[in-house]
A = this chain, B = another copy of it.
C-alpha cells in the first residue's frame, strides 16, 4: 500500500473525516522525498485542490503528527519543516542544499545512554540524532558553482 493511502486510512480510523483539503496535504507530503514547510505544502497542495487553505495545512499536519505519521524536522535555518515519520528506530540524513531526506538506522547509543544515566542521575527517555550533509546531486552542483 502506498504511504498516502495508508495515511488516509489511519486518519479515518482515528475518527477523522476524509476531506479534499486533507487528501491534498497527504498527497503532497506522503510521497515527498524532501522536507517541506507548511507554506510549501500549501503551495503544492493547491495544484491538486485550488481551494485549499493554509490553515487546513496546519491543522492536517497537527493530526498527522498526533497519529505518529509525520514528524517535524528541525534545522539551523528553521524548525518548520515536515517529513514522514521514521518507522521504528530510524533517523534522518538531510541534504542542506535541496532538503532531500533519507532514513537510516544503525546508530548504537545504548552504551552511551547507559553510561550517562549512571554518571548524571538523569533518566534518559529519548534522543534526537540528525545528520547533515550534501547529497551526491548537490555535491556536483556545488562543484559547478565554484567554477
List 12 A–B pairs whose Cβ atoms lie within 8 Å, in order of A's numbering.
A72-B76, A93-B120, A109-B129, A113-B131, A116-B131, A122-B131, A122-B133, A122-B134, A123-B133, A126-B132, A128-B128, A128-B131
Among candidates B115, B122, B130, residue contacting A127 with C-beta atoms closer than 8 Å: B130
**Interface contact B107-A93, CB-CB below 8 Å:** no
The total of chain A residues at the interface (CB under 8 A) is: 35
Counted per complex, copies of this chain come to 2
Q: Interface code A87-99, partner B: CB below 8 Å = 1, 0 otherwise? A: 0000001011000
Chain A residues touching B, majority SS? strand
Give the chain B neighbours of A112 by CB distance below 8 A. Answer: 104, 106-107
